[in-house]
Amino acid sequence: MLTPERITHPAAWNAALRALPCAHVLQTWEWGEFKRATTGWQPLRLAFKHGGSIVAMASVGIRSVGPLKVMYVSKGPALPYDDAAICAEVLDHLQQLARQERAIWLKIDPDVIAATGVPGEADDSPSPTGQALIKSLQARGWRFSPEAVEAVAQGRLNPEPLYTHTFRLDQLDQAMEMMRDRPDGFLKALITM
């Protein structure tokens, strides 16, 4: 059984993260602080211990949306995805946390390879670990949603109504201040060249 523990010291967080498989820069202490300062996401840093050793970590960004919240574990959680028991316990804990926080969604995007090569071609080679993770998430009712990205790329979804402010690249500091301060009427900023 895993024991979750909050980590509150930057050096301890980064040192433990560095030792884990599937660790990513978007799970570092610094990234969580950057997101806090620029977009209002509040990082909750969880280490999962087994027998006194950290075996998994998740920097969970939490943001309020009215009385509800959204949660995002960008490029995480960091854990050995080939260990189904650890993976299941971490996902169980994150799902329970999302319910406790009244989150309307919880998104993860671990840096796990699902397959290599071109799908449907001779070099298509599914990764057993990646495929097992996909099946586990599907069994839990999680959904992969490439549709939004594809819809924008194909012109079926116009993101322009989301852009409430437009900035030139040389106005990036001003755009970052708006993202941090979130003035009334601000939703998304579009940066142009």
pLDDT higher than 80, residue 72? yes
Phi, psi of 99 (to 5 degrees): -65, -45
Q: Which helix (H) or strand (E) holds 16?
A: helix 10-18
Burial class (CB in 10 A: 0-12, 13-18, 19+), 61: buried
pLDDT given at position 153: 60
Q: What is the mean pLDDT of the chain?
A: 87
Is residue 166 located within the same domain as residue 83? no
Pairing of strands 163-168, 188-192: parallel
Phi, psi of 5 (to 5 degrees): -145, 135
pLDDT in tens, 3-27: 999 999 999 999 999 999 999 999 9
**Is 135 within a domain?**
no
Structural domain total, the chain: 2
Q: Which residue has the higher pLDDT, 164 or 34?
A: 34
pTM for this predicted structure: 0.74
**Is 167 within a domain?**
yes
pLDDT given at position 154: 67
Lowest mean pLDDT among 26-35, 69-78, 108-117, 128-137: 108-117
Which alpha helices (DSSP H) does 45-127 contain, by range?
84-100
Phi, psi of 53 (to 5 degrees): -105, 140
What is the percent of the chain where pLDDT is above 70? 91
**Is 61 within a domain?**
yes
Is residue 83 located within the same domain as residue 168? no
Mapped onto helix, strand or coil, the DSSP state of residue 122 is coil
pLDDT in tens, 128-159: 999 999 999 989 888 876 665 566 566 666 66
Domain CATH code at residue 71: 3.40.630.30
Is residue 10 located within the same domain as residue 100? yes
Can you give the residue range of the structural domain that contains 165?
159-193
For residue 108, the one-letter residue type is I
Given a contact cutoff of 8 angstroms between Cβ atoms, the answer to whether 35 and 71 are in contact is no
**Is 91 within a domain?**
yes
For residue 69, the one-letter residue type is K
Is residue 93 located within the same domain as residue 183? no
**Is 140 within a domain?**
no
**Is 88 within a domain?**
yes
